[in-house]
Structure 1
Amino acid sequence: MPKVGMPDIRKPQLVQATMNVIERVGLHGASISLISKEAGVSTGIINHYFGGKQGLLEETMRAILREHSREITTALKQLSPDAHYQRINAIIDGNFNGFQTESEVVKTWLAFWSYAMHDPQLHRLQRVNEKRLISHLKIELKTLIPRSQASSVAHGIAALIDGIWLRGALNPRGIDATLARTIINDYLDKQIWYYDNLQG
């Protein structure tokens, strides 16, 4: 976490610089020197406020996760609380549209995922994000399928989101949001049909 006193205007500037450098040279090549040059600040400022590259990477991922959460929350607020199927699609779309598909964000996400396996703090951030996704999905699914099965289907949708996003991120053509929704909706529709017929 950045120290108290870090000018608010500097945080987004340094976060953007970090993503830009990761996009160009990858995480391992993203040195404090390159990031500070990109942001137009001294390396001392980064070391002072973030404690170095690790702290800056954590703040960068927190910023991405905050924006991710904000976009999904905003989309959900625009829908009726009873529009559960549409709300699930808003959650899906939040992972495949807008900010989350910008090139520098995608490459930072990929770096974050690989790095999180070996770093407890980054792993914790990943777990928080995963739990938030599952929680959002379960709230909506409980009205469409038996409550006892909502967690299992939520994890299935989350796995599809992660897998499709990863495949798209590694594809030179990028992430296909329409295809993602089609695949995930096909899974969701089959689950709803199955449990409807099981009860019937």
Structure 2
Amino acid sequence: MQQRSIASAAISVIHGAGLEGTRLRDVARAAHVTTGAVTHYFDGKEAVLEAALEEVVRRTLQRLGRGRHKPPKDVETFVAQACAHLPVDEASQMEWRVWLAFWGKAIADDRLRAIHRRYYEAFVEHVAHVLRALKPNTSSREALLTADAVIATLDGVGVRAILEPEHWPSKRQRQTATALLVPLLREFEGAKKV
């Protein structure tokens, strides 16, 4: 439990200072522990940073999992659930900033790129599962292609919202995502099995 508390503290520090500006002592202070406690659980700054990324993904998958038992019955419900993953509040903005900070670092780091790929595979599989509930007779290929498009839409809106927060309030994020997702999902609903 202490490790998750430290990872959560690291998220808030990364949010304010970025990956390069994050220091172990700042993470310790935010977690209300000593630097020694941080190094007891983690083998240095890189391990703490990766734990923060893992915590962001854990939270995202947990939110995604909440809807597993009641998949949406219609496009509007699906879109509303999808829009809940945009950076529309302070907590989700912090998580998005951490996620995007690692995007930048992963460009030149094969190991981080592999980690991102694994996380995206989990996201795509979950969205495809939900899409198959929306349209039970769909093929896996069609569900996976549509899941990729849904995630690309959310990524695009989310990136703009993080980079230009003054121009992308939550209402605009939801409106833009809805404008892109509804036609995509209507086509998905009406498409014949591939």
Quick check: 1:21–1:35 contact (8 Å CA) kept in 2? Answer: yes
| TM-score (normalizing by structure 2) | 0.78
2:42 counterpart (39, 50, 53): 50
Once the two structures are superposed, the pairs formed by residues 75-154 of structure 1 within 5 Å of their partners are 75-79=67-71, 83=73, 85=75, 88-89=78-79, 92-96=82-86, 102-142=92-132, 143=135, 146-147=138-139, 148-154=141-147
Distance of 1:89 and 1:75 partners within structure 2: 13
Q: CA deviation at 1:41?
A: 2.5
Which runs of no fewer than 5 residues in structure 1 stay unpaired? 1-7
**Change beyond 3 A, Cα 1:136–1:88:** farther
Quick check: 2:64–2:126 contact (8 Å CA) kept in 1? Answer: no
Quick check: 2:131–2:143 contact (8 Å CA) kept in 1? Answer: yes
Distance of 1:53 and 1:39 partners within structure 2: 14
What residue number does 2:176 align with? 179
Which runs of 4 or more aligned residues in structure 1 lie more than 4 Å from their structure 2 counterparts after TM superposition? Answer: 97-101
Distance of 2:164 and 2:5 partners within structure 1: 28
Moved more, 94-103 or 149-158: 94-103
Quick check: 1:21–1:30 contact (8 Å CA) kept in 2? Answer: yes
Quick check: 1:88–1:137 contact (8 Å CA) kept in 2? Answer: no
Identity %: 21
Alignment RMSD = 3.0
**Change beyond 3 A, Cα 1:123–1:29:** same
Q: Aligned AA for 2:8? A: Q
Distance of 2:81 and 2:119 partners within structure 1: 13
Which runs of no fewer than 5 residues in structure 2 stay unpaired? none
| TM-score (normalizing by structure 1) | 0.76
Confirm whether residue 188 of structure 1 aligns to residue 162 of structure 2: no
Answer with 1 or 2: which has the greater Rg.
1
Please state whether the residue corresponding to 1:102 is helix, strand or coil. helix
Higher relative contact order structure (alpha carbons within 8 Å, sequence separation ≥ 6) = 2
Aligned residues: 187
Quick check: 1:84–1:140 contact (8 Å CA) kept in 2? Answer: no
Q: CA deviation at 1:53?
A: 0.9
Distance of 1:140 and 1:19 partners within structure 2: 28
